[in-house]
Chains A and B, each alone.
Chain A
Amino acid sequence: MNLSFLRISIWVYLAIFFLYLLGPLVIMSVTAFNSSAFPRMTPWECLTFQWFGELFQDQRILNGIKNSLIIGAGTVVLSVAMGLAGALMLTQIWPKLRATYYTIIIAPILIPGVVLGISTLVFWDRINRMLGLGADSVLSNGIFLTVIGQSTFIASYCMLVLVARLQRYDVALTEAALDLGATHAQAFRKILLPFMRPAIASAAVLAFLASFENYNTTTFTFGEYPTLTIELAQKVRYGITPSISALAFIIVALTVFFALLNEAKLKRQELVAAARKNATVEELAGKIKLPSFFAGNVAALLVVVFGVATITVVGTATAYNPAQCIANVKEQKQLEAEQRIQELRKQREERRKQREAEEAEQGGAQSMPKPSNNSGFGNVFAPNTLGGGDEESSSEPQPSTNGGFGGAFDPNSLKTD
């Protein structure tokens, strides 16, 4: 019994853990399909794809994505090259210096991104001036500065990834290549580089993702080329819309897809290798019997499911028209709002009557201004002043309460409590 309790608590823990990890993503993704103008999951209004459409019509977002891709590519090239050079240096350097060298080269990871951003800006501005170049030179170009700035610390990440692989490299392989007549350059290109390829690919992906999501360094260096993160940050400042959820959903979907694809590929290689090992020489010399693509490969299956799902969703999106649903919801909302207005109006009527009765008691000698108009804001927040006059329901000119906010912003409703 004790054991089963333990087992259950482990499952509960796992559930909580994954909820914590993935919950926000799931909720954000769901909000991308809700027609509500504010990103929310409940109340569910209508299934809609309009936020995706809106996203792809937003020139600033699109421009941000473009800049992010350009800067990402630049950062990948620069960081992987620098990381590889750093990693090779680490294996070549005099052993006593190695620890010191390692510390120095890892340091950028520990320095706050903000500091890196500012120092990159200051440093290259100084260089720019020393060379006597103008403000429009390459050295003060936003893309150049962002790539340089991000690479200062992303190169360290790359180096860590590359060093791990390099430590498994047998230097005798390079020696063997040299011994067989290769020059150092040939040995590097034909032996070391192919060996490093998987690590270089990992480092490149890591560098790209780090560059793509970077904000605090980029915010100082982007100049005239805001990246996606910068654009998002600026956009969110003026309120959040579901089209940002739509963007998040696309990014999540792409990430999951490529992760699955990679997993499927690895699994496939494993299966092929296993098949080759079991095969006899004759089989290999003849034709290699590959396992069917899906045999024992869950990831591959998921990739296909994922692909089919995507096609279905996109197909539905083009055919689906939520206009009717949205219209219904609108109507519903309007009805609700009107109902609320009616109620409020009723309350107001009652209160007015009460007041009149009180006034009558105190006598008409005191001529007080009407409390309803007494707001310090000169009634600017009364929704009525914003062209509420065309509503035929507002029979009374002064403290009427109507509009979508249900009177919440009406100063009168505060006053009268």
Chain B
Amino acid sequence: MSAGVGVDLENLWIRFGDFVAVRDANVNINGGDFFSFLGPSGCGKTTILRAVSGFLDPSEGKVLIGGNDMRGIGPNKRPTALIFQNLALFPLMKVWENITFSMEIKGASARERRKRADELLDMIALPGQGDKLPSELSGGQRQRVAIARALCAEPDVLLLDEPLSALDLKLRQHMRTELREIQQRVGITFIYITHDQGEALTMSDNIAVMRAGVIDQIADGKTIYNDPNTAFAASFVGENNVFRGKIRRVMGTEAVISTNRTGDLVARISTANQGKMREGDEAMMFVRPEAFAIASDDAPGDHCVTARVKHEEFEGNVFNIFTEGDGGKEIKVSLPNVGQSFEDHTGQTIRLEYETRNAVLVPAGELAAE
């Protein structure tokens, strides 16, 4: 990937009166990366984006783009282009005028603009649609026009504020791949804001998981999914089953916790928390639904969970079993459909086993709201 312009946030604080929207954010975004901020609504991710694009001044700390401090530089002077959540296409301008607005500002002739617009329309697979008004396009087409408009300004960094949230599921999935392709083609840094973990995981090189103004973890998608730092990151990204307990024994990178309901269980301490967790600490163990299997008879007890099956459902590619878990939360188990026969377990008590590497232990903390 070509080396684009990197963005760094250094000790960034943003306050609105007494409310702290962003608390001491430190992020290094490499040039040419597709970087996502992932978090529930109201966690401060849009605030960070506005600080990078220049609509908001940080209360403390710095925003660096390509190593240059951006303090006091307005949004129209920054090498960034923002794609708004509602796209903010100019409703009275035709598509081609929209796309080449940044050229009009610089005084380019109509002929030049037209030519560039046609190139970009080809790139976003909307050839010949330049003379339409934005209101005459479908949601996905508008989306692509917004991208073309931003790219036309030739920014070093493209900022995207939940641009897919207004689209239906099919289109959203299609646009994911398309966005990723465009990013790889133009090779500039993309900073993407989303509350959809699927979008973040499929597109990003790196993801920052945010919760209430704090960045919990910055890592690539696989790491975040498999080795979360906090209970929030573990529960927000993907589906997860939580088991609460006290640490009974720490053995290097593994530990045993005692739970009220299912006894002692062994788990792997997540990488960031290794060496920090002590005996007697409150902890949470997370096991993904797909990491469970129906236990074989000789499975050791500290890898097994016994639970009563409440109901089951067949989803096609997976077979879901819901059992009673602790704290009223049910445990979900997803067995892949690979040709075995699924017998009905409803009402029965079954033993589920997991591998230690698939059970992640983090300090007890706030979980993501369902």
Known: A172-B84, A176-B82, A190-B104. A181 touches B128 (CB 8 A): no
Query: In the complex, are the beta carbons of A170 and B136 less than 8 A apart?
Result: no
Query: In the complex, are the beta carbons of B104 and A179 less than 8 A apart?
Result: no
Interchain CB contact (< 8 A) of B84 among A176, A183, A195, A281? A176
Q: How far is the CB of B56 from chain A (nearest CB, A)?
A: 11
Chain B residue contacts of A53, Cβ below 8 A: none
Q: How far is the CB of B83 from chain A (nearest CB, A)?
A: 9
Query: In the complex, are the beta carbons of B132 and A180 less than 8 A apart?
Result: no
Query: In the complex, are the beta carbons of B105 and A175 less than 8 A apart?
Result: no
A276–B88 CA distance with the chains assembled, in angstroms: 22
A387–B92 CA distance with the chains assembled, in angstroms: 76
The yes or no answer to A186 lying at the interface (CB within 8 A) is yes
Q: Which residues of chain B have a CB within 8 Å of any CB of chain A?
A: 53-55, 74-76, 80-82, 84, 86, 88-92, 101-102, 104-106, 128-129, 131-132, 136, 149-150, 153
**Which label, helix, strand, loop or mixed, suits the secondary structure of the A interface?**
helix
Query: In the complex, are the beta carbons of A285 and B128 less than 8 A apart?
Result: yes
Query: In the complex, are the beta carbons of A180 and B86 less than 8 A apart?
Result: no
Query: In the complex, are the beta carbons of B102 and A170 less than 8 A apart?
Result: no
Interchain CB contact (< 8 A) of B90 among A181, A186, A191, A276? A191
A416–B25 CA distance with the chains assembled, in angstroms: 110
Query: In the complex, are the beta carbons of B132 and A284 less than 8 A apart?
Result: yes
Chain A to chain B: the 6 pairs with minimum beta-carbon distance, closest first: A172-B88, A176-B88, A180-B102, A179-B82, A178-B75, A178-B76
A195–B91 CA distance with the chains assembled, in angstroms: 8
A287–B101 CA distance with the chains assembled, in angstroms: 25
Query: In the complex, are the beta carbons of B105 and A186 less than 8 A apart?
Result: yes
A-B contact pairs, 16 of them (CB 8 A): A176-B82, A176-B88, A176-B90, A179-B81, A180-B101, A180-B150, A180-B153, A181-B102, A181-B106, A186-B105, A190-B104, A191-B90, A195-B91, A195-B92, A284-B132, A285-B131
- Count of interface residues, chain A, beta-carbon cutoff 8 Å: 22
A173–B150 CA distance with the chains assembled, in angstroms: 13
Query: In the complex, are the beta carbons of B129 and A179 less than 8 A apart?
Result: no
Chain B residue contacts of A281, Cβ below 8 A: 128-129
Chain B residue contacts of A415, Cβ below 8 A: none
Interchain CB contact (< 8 A) of A276 among B75, B92, B102, B136? B136
A175, A276, A277: residue with the most chain B Cβ atoms closer than 10 Å: A175
What 1/0 mask marks residues of chain A from 329 to 353 whose CB sits below 8 Å from any chain B CB? 0000000000000000000000000
Within 8 A of B (CB), among A234-259: none
Interchain CB contact (< 8 A) of B88 among A175, A183, A277, A285? A175
Q: Which residues of chain A have a CB within 8 Å of any CB of chain B?
A: 170, 172-173, 175-183, 186, 190-191, 194-195, 276-277, 281, 284-285
Query: In the complex, are the beta carbons of B75 and A179 less than 8 A apart?
Result: yes
Chain B residue contacts of A183, Cβ below 8 A: 76
A183–B107 CA distance with the chains assembled, in angstroms: 13
Chain A residue contacts of B153, Cβ below 8 A: 180-181
Q: How far is the CB of B331 from chain A (nearest CB, A)?
A: 44
Smallest Cβ-Cβ distance to B133: which chain A residue: A276
A180–B101 CA distance with the chains assembled, in angstroms: 7
Interchain CB contact (< 8 A) of A180 among B74, B136, B149? B149
Query: In the complex, are the beta carbons of B84 and A181 less than 8 A apart?
Result: no
Q: How far is the CB of B352 from chain A (nearest CB, A)?
A: 49
Query: In the complex, are the beta carbons of B53 and A179 less than 8 A apart?
Result: yes
Chain A residue contacts of B86, Cβ below 8 A: 170, 172
Chain A residue contacts of B132, Cβ below 8 A: 284
A175, A177, A178, A179: residue with the most chain B Cβ atoms closer than 10 Å: A179
A194–B75 CA distance with the chains assembled, in angstroms: 22
Interchain CB contact (< 8 A) of A173 among B55, B75, B88, B106? B88
A284–B82 CA distance with the chains assembled, in angstroms: 30
A182–B104 CA distance with the chains assembled, in angstroms: 9
A262–B54 CA distance with the chains assembled, in angstroms: 43
Q: How far is the CB of A94 from chain B (nearest CB, A)?
A: 13
Chain A residue contacts of B89, Cβ below 8 A: 176
Q: How far is the CB of B131 from chain A (nearest CB, A)?
A: 7
